[in-house]
Every structure is written in C-alpha cells, then in structure tokens.
Structure 1
Amino acid sequence: MKKALRFTLLFAFLIQINGLSIFTDSNSSSLLDISDPDSKNTDVFRQLLNQETIIRMSLVKNVHALMKDMLDLKKSMETLETSQQKTDVDVATLKQKVDKLKRDNQILELENRRYEETFRAVTENFTKVDEYIQQVLEKLEEKRERFETNTSVVLADLKMEVRYLSVTLLDLNKHTLEIDKKFPEMMQEKYEQLSLRLNTSVENLGNDIMTTNKTMLKSVSDLENSQNIMQNSISVNISKTLEEIMAEVKQSKNEQLQLSSAVSSLEVFRMNVTNNILGKSKKVAFSASVSSSSTSWISGTLVFPSVITNEGNGYNPSNGIFTAPIAGMYVFFLNVQSYYRETIYVDIVLNGSTRVRTMAVSNKSDDYYEAGPNLVVLTIQKGDAVWIKHYSGSGYYHDGPITTFSGFLIHM
C-alpha cells in the first residue's frame, strides 16, 4: 500500500511539471512570434526571464505544498498503520472468540444431541408405558367380563342352593317340631344319667385329691429337708471361702508391709553405711508417702504429702518435688501400688527428663493391688529437681506407707 501511494504522488508531481512546461512553451512561442525580432529582442528576453522567474516561484510554491501534502499523507499513513495494527489485534481477538464460540457451539450441539437422544428414549419409554397400560386395560376388561360371566354363573348356582336350603329348612322345621314334642322326656333321661355319672366322678375325684394331698405333703417335707441341707452346705462353703479370701488379703498386705519395711530398712542401712564411710556432717535424705487412695489420677506430678523423713529439707510435700540442696550422687527409690485391678505407669524424672519408669500391672481377673518398685542412682547438681510424673494408667492405692517416694545422698 505504501508503494502505491508513493507512485501516485510521483505521478501527480510529473503532471504538474509537464503542465508548467507546456504553459511556458506556449507563452514563449507567443512572445517570440514578433514581426521585428531585432528591435524587440531585449524586451522579449526580459519578458522571458520574468516569466521564467514567476514559473520557478510558482513551481517552488507548488513543491512546498506538495511536500506538506506528502507529510500529511505520511502521518495519515502512520495513523492508518496504527489503526491497521489495532484492527489486526481486534481481528485476532474476534477470531479467538469465534473459535471459542465454535467450540461452545460444538459442545452445545453434542449436548443437544444427547438431550435429543434422551428425549427420544423418554418418548419411547412413554410409548411403551402407554402400550403397557393399554394392554393392562385390555386384560382388566377381559377379567371384568370373565368376572361378570362367572358372577352370573355363581348367582345362578346360589339361587339353586337357596332353593335347596329352603326345602331343607322346611324339613328341619318339621323335624324340630317333632323333637320339641320328645325333648322333655329326652332331657329327663339325660339328666338322670348325667347325675349318676357326676356323683361317681365326684367320689373318684375326692379319693384322688386325698391321695394327691398325701403325696404332696410328703414331697414338700422332703423338699424342705433338702433345702435346709443345701442352705447349711452353702453357708459353710461361703464362710470358708470368705475366710480364705480374707486370709489371702491379709497375707498380701503383710507381704507388702514387709516389703516396704525391708525397703525402708535398706534405705536406713545405706544411709548409715554412707555416713559411716564418708564421715560427713552434711546429710540429705527424705521419705514420703501418699495420704489417700485415688482412682482418678491420670496426669501431672504425683505428690507425696505425708513426710516420713526430710533430712536437709530438700523435699517439698506441697508439690512433691525434691530440690537438691548440694551437688552429689543420689539414690532415689519409688514404689507405686495399683488400685485394685487398675494399671499404673509412673516415671522418676530429673528436671523434666525421664530417667527410669516403673509399672504396676493387673492383667488377670484374680490380680489386684499390684506393686511397682524401681530405683535409680543420679549425679545431680545443686538446685536440680527430681519428682514423680504420670506416664500411663490411672489411680494408686494407700493403706499406710505403701505408695512411697524416697531419696538420699550417697556421695558429694
């Protein structure tokens, strides 16, 4: 398109120049056409120069106007190119939209075909249902006609039977009248026979009742004797079983008390040995126990509020935490007693870190109040804290100093 515009401008410029040349030639020919060339050569030459100057000025003016037109045309071309680019972008966008519309149209056509197929299937189903309904109606009509026919036959048979019944009723009425005449005699005879049979049956029933009463009294007496024997036997067995259970419970408690006493004796012995060996005047030792049983303790720190020994005042009975007053090697002992058939796991912790764990597990129907002892030797610094923390299970048992927490210094 640019080339075509350039050719158009060049062609117009050439036409203008040619037009001026023709005009100049015509004027010069008219001016040179003089009868006396010698006398008028100077004037003619001047006129030619003036005309040539005028023509050149006009030509320059036309060229400037043409250049201005060319610049305007160039700007128009640039504007046209920008518009063309925008148009191309719009056309591309429109093409994309058209493609999208085509795809949507294809999807809609597919859905429309699917809907048409569904509608066709529904129509066929409705047609089949209509045909089935027509067949059912025809069958019902046939059955109705057959029923009407059968009803007519049955009614006819009923009419015949009613006639036969009427005749039978007449005969029965006659027979009833005859029976009414003979009924008092028959009733008297039957009453006499029934009275005789009833008297005989009453006598036999009285004899049977007397025999049965004697048998029942004997059975009741035997049953009472058997019941008394069984009650005595059950009472003896229950008493014996309860005594055995109480003996086992007492034995288990005695064993636990003996174990706790042995542990306490061992602790005292170790403390005495340590003091004798070291010969130190600084003593740190404690023992504490829970003050009551619990079935609901399931988390946190196990507190032993009942203080047995607290040499050095390192143990705090209000929160259950032992804080080392001096650095050294300590022995800590724990015994936790499970509550009846519960299971309990607890840890001995140092500054929140588990060191050892103990457990009292009851996993049998006859196991109860199980003990879970454990001991640990720790090297700790002054100000370190040791306590008992819940790990798993629930509850603990108290029957004197059974569930206990103890510790003592063995070396500084």
Structure 2
Amino acid sequence: MKHALGLELLLLNCACVFNLSILTDDSGRNITDLDMNNIDPKNSDVFRQLLNQETLIRMALVKNVHVLMKDMVDLKKKLESVESLQQSAEIKITALQQEVNDLKRENQKLSLENRKFEETFSLVKDNFTQIKDQFKDFAKEVEEKRDAFERNTTMFNMSLETLSDDLIATSTKLSKSVSNLENSQNAIIASVADDINKTLGDLKTEVKQSQNDQLKLSATVSSLEVFRMNITNNHCDLGKKVAFTAGVTSSSSSWNSGTLVFDKVTNNVGGGYNPNTGIFTAPLNGDYVFYVGIQSRSSDVNDIYVGIVLNGSRKVRAMAYNYNSNDDYETGTNMVTLRLQQGDTVWVKYYAGKGYYTYSDAPLTTFSGFLK
C-alpha cells in the first residue's frame, strides 16, 4: 500500500509538470492568452506551429497520465487482493504447521509402540527357539523308545515262535504217551491239554495287544514327525502359526452325546481353540492337521467311539474297544488333514459307546491341531 501511494503522488507531480509550457515561460497560460503584438510577423508562422506541436504533446501527455492513473488504481486493487491472499496463506501455513507438529507427536508415539512390539517379538522368537530345541530332544527320545520297542517286539516274536514249537513238540509227546496210559490217566491228560490251550490263547492275546500298541505308537510318532516337519518348514513365519493341544481333565462314565470339551489347554498358538466350547475356529485359510486320542474305561464301559467333525460333517472316527473283556484300558487314535477356510469350525463329537478315562494333571484323552 505504501508503494502504491508513492506511485500515485509521483504521477500527480508529473501531471503538474507537464501542464507547464516552455514556450510560455513556464506560466501555464493558454494560447489565447499570448500577446501576439510583440511577435515578429516573420516568425509568427513558426511560433504558431510550435504552439500547435506543444498542444499536441500536452494532450498526449495528459492522456498518458490518465492511463497511468487508471493502471495505478488497478494495481492498488491487485495489491489489496494480494494482501488478502497473503493473510489467507499465513492462516493456512499456521494450520499446516500445527498439523505437522501433531504428526510429529503421533510419529513419536508410533515409534515407541513399534519399539515395544519389537521387544515382544524378540521375546516370542526366543521362546519359540527354546520350544523348538525341546521338541527336537523329545522327538529324539521318542525315536529311541520306538527303536527299543521294535527290538523288544522282535525278540518277543522269536521267543513266541520257539515256545510254540516247544509246545507243539510237548503236545505230540503227550499224545503218544496218552495212547499208552490207562483210563485212570485220562483226567490228567485232559487237564494238561486245557492248560496248554489256555497258555496259547493268552500268548496270542498278548501278541495281538502288543501289535495293536505298536500300531498306536507308530501313528503317534508319525503325527509328531509331521508336526516337527511343519514346525521346521514354517519357523520363520511367526505371523502365520496356528497350533493347539488340549485335554480332558476329568473322567466320565456317562458321556453319551454332543461335543467333547477339552478344557485343559496345553498350547493355543493363534487362539483358534475355545476351551469353553471344545470348538476350533480356523483363523487363517490353509491345510490343517487334526489328531484325537480317546481313552476308554475298564470293563464296566468297554468301548467308546468319537469323530472329528468339520462344520457339522463327520470326517474320521477313533475307536477304543476292549476286545478281550478284561479290566483293561484301551486307546483309540486317528489323524486327518483338512483344507479349511477362515471361520470354518472343527470339533470332536460323540458317535457310540459310553464314557471315557483321563488324568487331571496330564490328560490321556486329547485333541490337537496345527496349520501345515
């Protein structure tokens, strides 16, 4: 505004100066006011031409002054508009500076939270490394026990074959002796034969039980090996880990319907298993492995059947059946691989039988699963 006022005063001064005439002695008089008596007739024409030229120059100067004054008014308006824009820009700049300060404070807060998250992630990573090392030791111990069991089974089978041959030979000898004995010895021979048959039946039962136990142990070792391989292959992607193991802490002699709720959670990576309902809900899409182990009660309730269910559809069953009707406890196991979408549900459902057996501190009846 100060520069505009100065320019206006300068233009007014120019206008005043241009109103003066050199030919009229700077008096500013009009042509009609000149004293023509004192002008030499010879020079009158020249003087008249000079006056006409002066008049034309003066008119041109006045016109230019008006144009300059108009431009000055326009410039003044533009300066006022610029000042308004400058004030608006200063307000916006102040608001932007405030937003920048807010963003800086938010960035500091996020940096602090990120540091805490990195510390937590490091702790989880260390814990996972420890679990991995412990699992390797456990797998090695299981492998050693399986090898020892296979050696013992082989020795047992060899002993059984030898014993069978001896028993057959003894039976043959007894049969030959019986033909030479009197009727008074028939009762003794029959008693010996019964003892032999009973012994053979008991040995066959023990062999069948041993083979059944070996199959169960092999299935357990296979599932543990699959679990170990998945842990090894996916150890670097902690954000996609899903695994759980849960067990039942109290036995029942009357359970005969509905969902089996495994209320003791040993591990629940990813939070998919709900110990209140016994239902696993898939937090991620992928291929999952599920394993169930059910322990039957003794001869009062000698069998139990359960199934692994996906969204209400039974996929596999596990059976614990006491086939010799003795006071024995039997274990039924099964494992299944299922392709799940996020939100699919899997649980263990009753199929047949009655009741199950377990321990409170280290459950016998368990339910496990993990993402491959």
Larger Rg: 1
From the two aligned structures, give the one with the greater helix fraction.
1
TM-score over 0.5 (shorter chain): no
Query: Shorter-chain TM-score: what band?
Result: 0.3 to 0.5
